Amino acid sequence: MDIKECKFETIAVHAGVQPDPTTGAIMTPIYATSTYVQSTPGEHKGYDYSRTANPTRTALEASIAGLESGKHCLALSSGCTGTDILCHFLEAGDHVVSVDDVYGGTSRLFRTVWARHGVETTFADLVNHNLSDYVRPNTKMIWIETPTNPLLKIIDIEKVVQQAHKLSPKPIVVVDNTFASPYFQSPLALGADVVLHSTTKYLNGHSDVVGGALVFNDDNLKAKLHHIQNSIGGVPGPFDAWLVLRGIKTLALRMKRHEENAKVLAEMLERHPKVERVIYPGLKSHPQHDVAKRQMKGFGGMITFFLKGNLATSRNFLERVRLFALAESLGGVESLIEHPAIMTHASIPAETRVKLGISDTLIRISVGIENVQDLQRDLELALG
Ligand code: P1T
């Protein structure tokens, strides 16, 4: 049976993974090697140097391509490497339109690194405005993150793709699918050109790797993006590639549980007298709940909420949680909690943060797969 005809759970376990031809080992070995012996100059078994390709990484790439129903995947040293490689694809004088609420590191890369090389980025409110309000004749890339980090806005991927693909020259549309994971959202099927993942998060799922991936269908893009990756480096080591490959096998089970737990906690927080407002795409109160219902197969495991009070209230709450670890990152089996304004989004200028609504009372949680009653009790005790 062709793996491409199988359902997500089966693809997650099997895609890219073949028994080792020399030993029959069911798990892909960790090919800890930098180089490969050639029989005569230029003749080898498909691998010549591990910056260019490595068999463990090849297996991971086939696995992630399978999850996103994409033709090609490049596994990377981090999610930010993916953003950087796509920016290398541009030239000085090119323009990017990015969703206004994106991971702080993505915004930092656009504003403080690529701006210096002549690539200008406009941060756009693509919930309330059309893409046409922001594009210019030199717009070459549209950057969508959905759900956004940290405000969990939902961007209508199909709508933005339709508008982008009418433009001439046609910009590439990239969707950062880190928050939804391929279990809940398939941007390529909605017309996006490239999907980016920080595999650090749900794909690996165990908070022990930093990694990234790009997935796409276009053969020309494969040649160009691999050329950039091979030229600048930015590859994951074989052990990291293996860990992500292993993590992916349980992705479907984990995502289901992350979401079940998140629904319970979002509803509890929405009822809580010390909470001002809860943002979770699965709540009817979410302004883009209908778009999320149409575009996603589920609502994920991330919740953002505003406490009543001030910075001291937030600090007090964050110091009192016990099961939720106060830490950056997300998507691991263990629940994490953080303060975006001081932690993950500190690199965004304060004025922009305030305008977006990333305030001192904004808290973000990554709901883990623990027992939900324990998680609920931990939050309730900390809220006091
Ligand atoms: O950390 P790295 O693997 O380089 O991934 C960057 C990245 C890209 N896209 C999104 C949506 C992300 O959330 C991240 C990283 N985010 C965090 C570390 C965080 O705590 O939000």
- CATH assignment of the domain containing 287: 3.90.1150.10
Q: Beta strand 194-198 with 172-176: parallel, antiparallel or unpaired?
A: parallel
Tokens encoding 4: 């491409």
List the structure tokens of 264.
């319970």
Answer for the pair 67, 178: CB distance below 8 angstroms, yes or no: no
> How many Cα atoms sit within 13 Å of 273 on the Cβ side?
1
Contacts of 380 (CB under 8 A, 6+ apart): 268, 272
Q: What is the dihedral of CA 67, 325, 299, 360, to 10 degrees?
A: -130
Query: Is 51 an annotated catalytic residue?
Result: yes
Last residue of a domain, one of 197, 229, 248: 248
Residue of 76, 149, 303 best suited for mutating to test ligand 1, as the one with most atoms within 8 Å of CB: 149
* Same domain, residue pair 207 and 343: no
Distance 384 CA to ligand 1 centre (A): 31
Q: Whose CA is nearest to atom 20 of ligand 1?
A: 329
State the helix-helix crossing angle for 55-67 and 238-248, rounded to 10 degrees: 30
Nearest to 153 by CA among 256, 289, 341, 271: 289
Distances (CA, A) of 27 to 19, 35, 89, 172, 227: 7, 22, 35, 36, 29
Atom of ligand 1 nearest to the CA of 200: 3
Residue 313: phi and psi, rounded to 5, are -60, -45
Do 312 and 284 fall within a single domain?
yes
CA-nearest residue, atom 21 of ligand 1: 329
Identify which of 64, 83, 103, 194 to mutate to test ligand 1's pocket (most ligand atoms within 8 A of the CB).
103
237 shares a domain with 279 = no
275-279 and 120-124 strand pairing: unpaired
Segment holding 307, helix H or strand E: strand 302-307
Regarding whether 236 and 301 lie in a shared domain, the answer is no
CA of 286 to the centre of ligand 1 (A): 23
Closest of 118, 135, 126 to residue 102, by C-alpha: 126
> What pLDDT score does 2 carry?
87
Show the domain range for 128.
Answer: 3-248
Give the CATH number, domain containing residue 85. 3.40.640.10
Which of 108, 146, 201, when mutated, tests ligand 1's pocket best, judged by the most ligand atoms within 8 Å of its CB? 201
Q: Do 19 and 159 sit in the same domain of this protein?
A: yes
- 256 shares a domain with 243: no
Same-domain check for residues 158 and 269: no
Q: Cα separation of 106 and 109, whole Å?
A: 5
Q: 3, 44, 34, 11: which is closest to 186 by C-alpha?
A: 11
In terms of domains, do 260 and 182 share one? no
What was the pLDDT predicted at 1?
Answer: 81
Tokens of 285: 């109160």
Q: How many helices (H) and strands (E) does the chain have?
A: 13, 12
**CB-based pocket (< 6 A), ligand 1:** 78-80, 103, 105-106, 145, 149, 176, 178-179, 198, 200, 210, 212, 328-330, 344
Among the listed residues 47, 57, 84, 103, the single catalytic one is: 103
Query: How confident is the model at residue 13, as a pLDDT?
Result: 97
Cα of 329 from ligand 1 centre, angstroms: 7
271 & 172 share domain: no
Please state the atom number of ligand 1 nearest to the C-alpha of residue 201. 3
Side chain identity at 238, as an amino acid letter? P
36 is catalytic: no
Give the pLDDT of residue 73.
98
Examine the fold and report which residue of 248, 269, 284 is the final residue of a domain before the chain moves on: 248
- Domain end, chosen from 201, 228, 248, is at 248
Angle between helices 251-271 and 372-383 (to 10 degrees): 30
The answer to whether 86 touches 270, Cβ cutoff 8 Å, is no
pTM of the predicted model over 0.85: yes
Two tokens at 300?
Answer: 């994920």
- The C-alpha angle with vertex 163 and arms to 161 and 166, in degrees rounded to 5, equals 105
The reply to whether 222 and 259 lie within a common domain is no
Closest C-alpha to 374, from 219, 265, 242: 265
**Residue 257 to residues 9, 254, 283, 354, 370, Cα–Cα distance (Å):** 14, 5, 17, 33, 9
* Residue 363 DSSP code: E
CB of 60 within 8 A of CB of 18?
no
Residue 4 is a catalytic residue: no
Is 49 part of the annotated catalytic residue set? no
Task: Identify whether residues 208 and 292 lie together within a single domain.
Answer: no
Among 375, 84, 347, 79, CA closest to 201? 79
Question: Cα(19) to centroid of ligand 1, in Å?
Answer: 33
- 269 shares a domain with 201: no
List the catalytic residue out of 51, 249, 274, 293: 51
Task: For the chain of 384 residues, list the mean pLDDT of each consecutive stretch of 10.
Answer: 92 95 95 98 97 98 98 98 97 98 97 98 98 98 98 98 97 98 98 98 98 98 98 98 98 98 98 98 98 98 98 98 98 98 96 97 98 98 97
Calpha distance 31→375 (Å, rounded): 39
When divided into structural domains, the chain yields a total of 2
Which residue has a Cα nearest atom 12 of ligand 1? 103
In the numeric block, the tokens 């080792």 are attached to 20
201: its two tokens: 């998060």
Query: Which residue's alpha carbon is at the smallest distance from atom 1 of ligand 1?
Result: 79
The Å distance, Cα 352 to ligand 1 centre, comes to: 19
CB 226 within 8 A of CB 101: no
In whole angstroms, give the CA distance from residue 348 to residue 370.
32
| Burial (0-12, 13-18, 19+ Cβ within 10 Å), 26 | exposed
From the CA of 80, give the closest atom in ligand 1.
4
